[in-house]
Chains A and B, each alone.
Chain A
Amino acid sequence: MAAKAPDRRRNNPPSHGTTPPVFLSSSSGPVKPKQSSRPPDEIRKIFLRTGLISSVTGSSFLEIAPLKLSVSVLGPRPLPRTSSTPFAAQAILTTEVKFAPFASTVRRGYIRDSSERDLGSRLYQALVGAIRRELYPKSRIEVVVTILDSEDEGDDVNTVYIEEGKTTVETKFWDAGRSERALGVVLAGCITAASAALADAGIEMFDMVSGGVATSFVDEVSLKGKDRGDAVSNKLYVRDPAIVPPEGKAPLATCVLGYMAARDEISELWISGKVGTKNGTAEMDELVDEAIAAARSARGVLNEASKERVKFIVDKSGTAPPTEGGTTDVEMSG
């Protein structure tokens, strides 16, 4: 880690600077981690629970395999009365996404880095259209996401492979698009969990947004030829992809989206990677459809979690009808 100026508000590491541990492997290549037996059109199990944090308006906790994240919704609360605050006819939404320092293979700093800010703005984009912001004038709604653990490359990225007789760095095919897949799964999780937390907070929405992610793969051998990627014949689409690509496959493109199932609208779209245009947008459509299918599956979990919470609230308050109109409102639109 580069030795920058010490942070006045935190305890600082030794001034020498420290580096993440680097592993040495003399085997000829990365030991391929075990493949999941999950069919490509099935998403991983999602654990989603809302209302775990009592001191905030709404909260949720989501777990998809190694990904663990917690979402808090603060507000709606009044904007600070300062002269610089403009009049806001609609609620001002802010979103923050922060990885815990220990959430990824490379330790993250305390200040949000550019990829975290980028995730925050993607999340904003996904949610802002869905919230009925005009119902909360002169107020702000803050969505804070803390990522405790995420699936990323594992120690492989920090491993030096020594192969005798080779002098140059060879990019492994599976390296390409690796961080997009990792961030994509995180973003999709953030979107789903944030919607659940907003519903828990009783904030009215047009529809709940669920996140979906899909990646297209091709045969590794077809990439090595001259007509890279042009052999679109045998594409494999994987919903909710793991970091490790399927055996013998190389990733082409990853698509993440925020999807409002009841309105059939995409509130946030993020495609990264190579999408051919030989047949117009057909290739992109397939990818987007896969991601939407993943988002629909996530929506089911989202509905269940919200229902569970509403039931809990209703049961707790005896026979009284739920007072949070927003929560039921959202619920019915599913």
Chain B
Amino acid sequence: MVSSSRIQCKGAADALGYCHPVRRWWVGDDDDDDDDDGDGDGDGDDEGKEGVAVNASGVDKSHACELVAISPYPTAEATWPSSAFLLGSDLKLKPKSKPDVEPCKQTTHFQMLHFEGSLDWVFLPVLSTSASLVSTKPLFSPMSSLTPQVDSGESLPPPPPPLTFSTSLFRQISPALYLQRHLLHSPPTRPNGRSPSQCRDFTLTTNSLSHAHGSAVVRAGDTAVVCGIRGEVLTIAPGDDPSRFESYHSSPTSATHACGSRGAGGASWGGLIVTNVELSTGCSKKYPLGPPGGLAQTLSDQLHELVNVTKLVSLDSLRIYDREDYSDVTPNAKIKGYWSLYIDVLCISLDGNILDAAWYAIVAALKSSRLPLASWNQTEERVFCDSSLYHPLSLRRSLPFTTTFALISLPHSDDNGGGTTVLLNDPDSYEEDEACEFLTILSTTDFEIVEGELSRSPLAGLRTRVEKIEKRGGCKIGLRQIESCTHQATSKAARYIQSLMKEQLTPI
């Protein structure tokens, strides 16, 4: 599978923001040609025999490896279709005295994971091999401070409190403990009765609104969102250059979009697709009324970026040409304007995991959108629409879906003193309040393949791929956990597709 993988490592402390010099290794497939370019700044603790520099302070026991790019294809660096950034930690190091410990005993936890592009989800083994590539070699010299402190007796669960409370009271008083007790139970059950990997049932309704060009209502548990899409016409003024919009839309990186919509200077003007989330609808007691707060702004940005980065809408269906008849576009037709899509998501009821619901609503609304046919009228010098001809938006072939997990760290567990992390699929707001961070996986399913075969078996022939994994740092999760999350995301995406198609097939 992997013909060339490169792993870039640097000191964990540095990656975590400490001001230590950067150390890098380039690790090829053959792990002999390690190239140490970070030597010379070790502070004496450097006893790496293979020329490996070790962080001077060494107090941070979570050392990290950072994979800059992995690719399953034997291609040149420049054309790699995807990139990943991950920060693992807690590489359990082989003590110098026992050089022959089997690699499988090692555990790798990921602290930060950012992956963008398109890969079969089976890339995970790649990650794990890459990670083991790093860890099979004694990159770090064994130091006493590096080995995790194993607390032998101190970390026993606290004695039960002398006071007892009713369950509902306990839930109110100490939500964190309440949640932990549930998750430590065997089998782990969440307070809402679901298992950690179980997501809420959702319902989807499309095109129930009369004034939107496309709309969707998604309800997942007690979270309900409405997404409405309206097209407005952007007429290109005589002096304008349409290439600005063409290039903006095709720009590959997310950074451009993030800066474009609301950049460093605060506010600025965005591109053709404008995504906004409104939470000030009295959707929750906790969310204040008034102008959008931090959560709404973050969400708007996240969704805006997702729409742009995934290139969900093709620019073809947004162009407005100078033509008299509605036949096919002639090659010399001039672009006179664009449709600008306003995607507005209103949260009606908020009970956690709004990102997934909002994204699903956006995709479904876009899929159901119909724009009137617009063209330039020469005599009136204005863009007019035809109220009798509507055409659907052309979306990308395979629709991506997000799946969000809440990471709950448990205080202790049997063997490793560091504690474990439990991932909860589709968290509600009670769980979200206690989560230390979130993991979002964007996965894709080929839509068209399935469409014809719905009658037979909706899920047959699905080809699911992972497009983006995002974890912003804070908690540590293991490889196995990421893998199982990816599986969950895959099956959830398949269910999304299924319900979306069911909705599309029902006559309006």
**Chain A interfacial positions (CB closer than 8 Å to B):** 1, 5-25, 52-57, 59, 66, 68, 70-74, 96, 98, 100-105, 107, 110, 142, 144, 146, 148-152, 154-155, 159-160
Contact = CB atoms under 8 A, between A and B. Distances in A.
Given A18-B232, A57-B285, A102-B228, A11 B300 contact: yes
Interface stretch (B16-24, B275-283, B392-400, B454-462): B275-283
Nearest to B349: A53
B251 interface: no
A102 B229 contact: yes
Given A14-B271, A101-B344, A54 B349 contact: yes
A18 B274 CA distance: 12
Interface in B345-360: 346, 348-351
Contact of B267 (A5, A57, A66, A100): A5
Interface in B453-477: none
Nearest to A72: B282
Given A23-B386, A56-B284, A101 B340 contact: no
Contact of A70 (B233, B276, B289, B348): B348
A298 B122 CA distance: 58
Contacts of B346: 100, 146, 148
A55 B385 contact: no
15 contacts: A12-B262, A12-B269, A12-B274, A14-B234, A16-B236, A21-B232, A73-B282, A74-B282, A96-B282, A101-B230, A102-B209, A102-B344, A146-B281, A148-B209, A159-B387
Contacts of B267: 5-8, 12
A107 B340 CA distance: 12
A56 B269 contact: no
Nearest to B340: A18
Interface string B252-295: 00000000011000111111101110101111111001011000
A70 B387 contact: no
A18 B272 CA distance: 10
B233 A19 contact: yes
Residue among A5, A11, A73, A104 facing the most chain B CB atoms (10 A cut-off)? A11
B368 to A, nearest CB: 13
A18 B230 CA distance: 11
Contacts of B283: 53, 55-56, 72
A159 B384 CA distance: 9
A110 B269 contact: no
B11 interface: no
A52 B350 CA distance: 11
Nearest to A162: B380
B210 interface: yes
Given A7-B267, A52-B349, A107-B342, 14 more contacts: A10-B262, A10-B297, A13-B340, A14-B269, A16-B236, A17-B234, A21-B233, A21-B383, A22-B233, A53-B222, A55-B284, A68-B209, A146-B282, A148-B209
A7 B270 CA distance: 11
Given A23-B384, A56-B284, A104 B211 contact: yes
B504 interface: no
A110 B278 contact: yes
Contacts of A59: 282, 349
Interface of B: 208-212, 215, 222, 224, 226, 228-237, 240, 245, 261-262, 266-272, 274-276, 278, 280-286, 289, 291-292, 296-297, 300-301, 304, 340, 342, 344, 346, 348-351, 372, 374, 377, 380, 382-387, 429
B270 A13 contact: yes
B212 A22 contact: no
Given A70-B281, A144-B282, A159-B387, A11 B372 contact: no
B210 A66 contact: yes
A102 B211 contact: yes
Contact of B292 (A9, A13, A24): A9
Contacts of B372: 21, 23
A16 B292 contact: no
Nearest to A146: B281
A205 B212 CA distance: 37
Contacts of A148: 209, 226, 228, 346, 348
B301 A11 contact: yes
Contacts of B385: 21-24
Contacts of A6: 267-269
A14 B340 contact: yes
Contacts of A52: 224, 349
Contact of B235 (A19, A152, A155, A160): A19
CB-CB nearest 10 A-B residue pairs: A72-B282, A102-B228, A144-B282, A15-B269, A18-B232, A6-B267, A24-B384, A102-B212, A53-B349, A8-B267
A73 B171 CA distance: 24
B232 A144 contact: no
Contacts of B300: 10-11
Contact of B274 (A11, A22, A57): A11
Nearest to B212: A102
Nearest to B350: A55
Given A8-B267, A12-B267, A12-B270, A21 B237 contact: no
Contacts of A53: 222, 224, 282-283, 348-349
Nearest to A15: B269
Given A23-B384, A53-B222, A146-B348, A96 B284 contact: no
Nearest to B281: A146
Given A10-B292, A13-B269, A21 B285 contact: no
Contacts of A110: 276, 278
Residue among B236, B301, B351, B387 with max Cβ neighbours from chain A (10 Å):
B387
